[in-house]
Amino acid sequence: MTVVACPTCAKPVEWKPENTFRPFCSERCKQIDLGAWAEEKYTIPGAAPDALQDNPLDEDKH
């Protein structure tokens, strides 16, 4: 059996189909993580988008 740490509270979690909250230990920890994403506490690094990439239709106006 595989055991992982809950990403929110670090409690050991059994990785099995019956655990519907995996990799979280509970619904509460799952919701805390979702809230962090919604508040933009997590980010995925990347390059800033080009101005033309934001609205390709504006290209016709140049």
pLDDT tens column, 14-24:
999 999 999 99
In the block, which residue shows the tokens 């690094």?
A: 45
Instruction: Work out the pLDDT band at 49, boundaries 50, 70, 90.
Output: low
In the block, which residue shows the tokens 């508040």?
A: 39
Count of domains forming the chain: 1
pLDDT, one tens digit per residue, over 50-60 is 655 656 565 55
Question: Which pLDDT score is estimated for 43?
Answer: 83
Single pTM value for the model: 0.65
Can you name the residues that pair with 14 across neighbouring β-strands? 3
Q: Which domain holds residue 4?
A: 1-44
Residue 40 inside a domain? The answer is yes
Cα Dmax for the chain: 61
Question: Which pLDDT score is estimated for 54?
Answer: 57
Alpha-carbon torsion 40, 41, 46, 51, what sign?
A: positive
- Please tell me whether 25 is known to bind a ligand: yes
- Please tell me whether 30 is known to bind a ligand: no
* Residue 47 scores a pLDDT above 70: yes
Mean pLDDT over residues 8-16, rounded? 95
Residue 3 inside a domain? The answer is yes
- Please tell me whether 60 is known to bind a ligand: no
- Please tell me whether 32 is known to bind a ligand: no
